[in-house]
Amino acid sequence: MALRFEILGRFNRARAAQLTLPHFVCQTPLFMPVGTQGTIKGLTADQLEEIGCQIILGNTYHLALRPTSELIDELGGLHKFMNWPRALLTDSGGFQMVSLLHLADITEKGVTFQSPVDGKPMLLTPEESIQIQNKIGADIIMALDDVVKTTITGPRIEEAMHRTLRWIDRCIAAHKRPHDQNLFGIVQGGLDPVLRDICVRGLVDRNLPGYAIGGLAGGEDKDSFWRVVAQCTATLPEDKPRYVMGVGYPLDIVVCSALGADMYDCVYPTRTARFGTAIVPEGVLKLKHKAMAEDTRPIDPTCACMVCKNYTRAYIHSLVTKDAMGSQLLSFHNLYYMMQLSRNLHSSIVQGKFPKFVCNFLQKMFPKGDIPEWVCNAMEVAEIDISSCCAPFRYIQATKVQSNLNEDEIQAV
């Protein structure tokens, strides 16, 4: 175990913690930007530090291709190669393999695929994934799991869950640096609570430094999504970090934090920036839109980032999709937003103001009170009272679903 996880504050299931990793002391809940190929698109390490990034994600698949894990190892590890002084997390490489390479196939041995370089058949085993990640040197490494899309049904899901458990043992055995790299297990099992439960218990038995909830953020409906997160956070150990992979939208992060998750990653903020979309408290702002050409307001008047302090929507509009600077500035703002969201989550939980923060957040995003039902349901389970931001009719609808009140009692509410 190469980390310390200390809970500093709680609100029901939500927790704010200090996560001490070999390269950095982090505060959770936190969002990790994805630096696929050893860089966050268009931003320097200095800028990332300035906006408050604590952990960056590197993609093992991409880095193993170029510049190769051997080269990274030879030059002293990814931290040194990128000159990033804070924490790094690498994924197992499995996800990209399955999602990027048609003709990839999963067997008990590992993931077989065609090399994108020369078409030769290749095999990524749990052992090799860990070996590559040992060379890259991130503070947190991920086990190779058998990941299936949540939209798939049938026996494949159960097969994948059991295989994930068999592979975690192979990952643990292959891990040569447990003293400075933390191996996280990944809970699979699709949308089936029974399978998820088996997987959680299996992973917890292995006493890993941290646990991820995988297999989500792939197109399943939101109602199923939050229920899986809720179930996992209820049964994973309290004193270890919980990482929901591939999440995501700010709303999803707030809900998952309310349910007791601590870490998140997603390409969304930087990817949507490249399409000219800014993340704002109200949701999104599409800078490409013609109306932006005359709009002399900042992207978000409440945002303290360099972009919002200096530039108008009109100017950014003139840049987006045409000049590299446009996506750079928007990436900067979007990541700043996500870092600020992380900071707000952490501090509001520590200060005992979490429900107020959540209500505020929802009010800005849903000024008419039309909060989606799945959010209401999730907050109900998280025991966060958001009645003040729901339009009265919607709130009753939600509670009707959850509670056992009969018709007469509901009228009285």
Specify whether 323 is catalytic: no
- Helix H segments across 102-154? 126-136
Nearer of residues 182 and 327 to another protein, judged by Cβ = 327
Nearer of residues 38 and 209 to another protein, judged by Cβ = 38
Q: How far is the CB of 306 from another protein (least distance, A)?
A: 5
Q: How far is the CB of 65 from another protein (least distance, A)?
A: 9
Annotated ligand binding at 276? The verdict is: no
Q: How far is the CB of 302 from another protein (least distance, A)?
A: 18
Annotated ligand binding at 333? The verdict is: yes
Q: Six-digit token pair at 335? A: 């990541």
Annotated ligand binding at 58? The verdict is: no
Specify whether 265 is catalytic: yes
Nearer of residues 318 and 347 to another protein, judged by Cβ = 318
Q: Looking at 91, 139, 262, 300, which residue is catalytic?
A: 91
Annotated ligand binding at 95? The verdict is: yes
Q: Looking at 146, 252, 262, 265, which residue is catalytic?
A: 265
Annotated ligand binding at 389? The verdict is: no
Q: How far is the CB of 126 from another protein (least distance, A)?
A: 26
Q: How far is the CB of 376 from another protein (least distance, A)?
A: 41
Q: Six-digit token pair at 42? A: 């268009």
Of the candidates 123, 89, 81, 67, the residue with the CA atom closest to the CA atom of residue 21: 89
Where does this chain bind another protein (CB under 8 A)? 37-39, 41-47, 50, 62, 66-67, 71, 74-75, 81-83, 293-294, 296, 306, 309-312, 314-315, 317-319, 322-325, 327-329, 332
Annotated ligand binding at 115? The verdict is: no
* Catalytic site positions: 91, 265
Q: Which residues are annotated as a binding site for Zn(2+)?
A: 303, 305, 308, 333
Q: Which residues are annotated as a binding site for substrate?
A: 91-95, 145, 188, 215
Q: Which residues are annotated as a binding site?
A: 91-95, 145, 188, 215, 303, 305, 308, 333
